[in-house]
Chain A
Amino acid sequence: MTGSGLLAASAAPLTAPVVAQVTAIEASLLAFVVLTGLATALARDVLAAVIVFGAYSLGMAALYTFYRAPDVALTEAAISAGVTTVLLLLTLAKTTRIDHEDVFESVNVPAVGAVGLLFVGLLLTMGDVPAIGSPDAPVWSNPEVSQWYLAETYAQTGVDNTVMGVLAAFRGFDTFGEAVVVFAGGIAALIVLHREVFA
């Protein structure tokens, strides 16, 4: 998808606002994500939980793709489904894994009650969240900011991908801070694990 295609796809709902319906694929992906999330929480075996968590991240990546956030989808697939799963597996390989007879954890009723209350509380706020593609969404009802970036990124930076233009140019100092945080994370891991060399 080229940048102009991104621009056209993003600008289309502004001229003809259409409240998107949840398609069958999106509904099945949402169900998959919820089920894998529950399975991650309930799986007795830690290895099974890690594997199912990777599947959850893959489902989230596919969901982001359907909601037209390919940059976020790439990050979710590469970091969460790929790297995090590998690092967790490596950690499991270095520690003890206990044999379990049963597949699922026994449900802790007070914990489920607390999580359920939080879930209901969050659900009550969903009424104020605009529907996908709704013209009432702040991104469209206050179009000066988002439309300015969509219109000006190519003119000012020569970059088609608006996300990269915002990250590297308009918010370049933030991105520099984030990159330094990643670097500092590596250094912190060295310190925590009492090592002086990475490899």
Chain B
Amino acid sequence: MSDVRSDDAGRGDPAADAADEAGDDPDSDVPPHRAVPRSGRLDSEQRQGTPYTESQVIMPTVKIVAPFAFTYGLFITFHGSGSPGGGFQGGAIVAAVVFMIAFAFGIEPTRDWLANTVVVALAVGGTLAFAGIGLIPVARGGAFLQYDLLPIPVKYGLESVEIFGIAAIVSGVLMGLFFLLANGFNSDGSGFGDADGDGTEDDDDADVADPDTSDANRTAAADGGAR
């Protein structure tokens, strides 16, 4: 780290260095391990909204490509027993289609369109489906995932694990990670209330109130819009 900084100083313009050292740099209070915001770049404090550029090239391209990519993801998932692929790869491709749509049409509209209930239902439902398919043979006196005790042929047992279990989990968790990262770290502690413990309980409650109600309203609106 020290090498890099010394190289920077060596290569920099001497006049600019002198100006920096003269003390007129407004960012001189930034600690040395943090990046100093330059011209044309926004600091992360100012950039908490998700960046989006409406492009006349990206939007039609995604409109054309997304149905085919989604179908390909479903094919990889459903045809995993007869060709390379399976639930993991197909679920990732399906999630990538959602990423594509979010990049083209904005993350926030995509977040509203794809409600939190869908993402959670995919992740949780997939895990429960996998466990349920595995436990049915146990209930019938066999071993975990003993496919020949399922009421369906063995091949369909494997495929149902891939489709309803793995593909659902992977696509749901990947979409969830995407939306989570787009939201960023909840630095005001409104996610957990007093989890960060940097304020009094009254302050935390006040912090909690607004985002929670807005979240509830937004989710309800998204659900109403979807149904």
Given A78-B92, A83-B96, A106-B7, 15 more contacts at CB 8 Å? A82-B92, A96-B42, A96-B44, A98-B41, A99-B38, A159-B155, A161-B85, A169-B147, A173-B134, A176-B144, A179-B169, A183-B123, A189-B177, A190-B176, A198-B176
Look across to chain B and name the residue whose beta carbon is closest to the beta carbon of A81.
B96
- Residues A199 and B176 in contact, CB atoms below 8 Å apart: yes
* 8 Å CB interface, B38-70 against A: 38, 40-44, 47-48, 50-51
- Tell me how many residues of B have a C-beta within 8 Å of chain A: 84
A interface residues, Cβ below 8 angstroms from B: 1-3, 70-71, 73-75, 78-79, 82-83, 86-87, 90-91, 93-99, 101-102, 105-106, 108, 156-161, 163-165, 167-169, 172-173, 175-176, 179-180, 182-183, 185-186, 189-190, 193-199
Could you tell me the dominant secondary structure of chain A's interface residues? helix
Could you tell me the dominant secondary structure of chain B's interface residues? helix
B162 at the interface (CB under 8 A from A): yes
**Complex Cα spacing A195 to B144, Å:** 34
Question: How does the 8 Å CB contact mask read for B169-212 relative to A, with 1 for contact and 0 for none?
Answer: 11011111111111111110111100110000000000000000
- Residues A74 and B84 in contact, CB atoms below 8 Å apart: yes
Chain A residues within 8 Å of B11, by CB: 101-102
Chain A residues within 8 Å of B175, by CB: 198-199
Q: List 27 A-B contacts (CB under 8 A).
A: A3-B82, A73-B84, A74-B84, A78-B93, A79-B92, A93-B50, A94-B44, A94-B184, A157-B147, A158-B154, A160-B83, A165-B158, A169-B145, A169-B158, A172-B145, A176-B131, A179-B126, A180-B127, A182-B173, A183-B124, A183-B127, A189-B180, A194-B185, A194-B192, A194-B195, A198-B123, A199-B111
- Residues A91 and B38 in contact, CB atoms below 8 Å apart: no
B99 at the interface (CB under 8 A from A): yes
Chain A residues within 8 Å of B177, by CB: 87, 185-186, 189
- Residues B154 and A157 in contact, CB atoms below 8 Å apart: yes
Chain A residues within 8 Å of B149, by CB: none
Chain A residues within 8 Å of B115, by CB: 199
* 8 Å CB interface, B94-151 against A: 95-96, 99, 103, 111, 114-116, 118-120, 123-124, 126-127, 130-131, 134, 144-145, 147
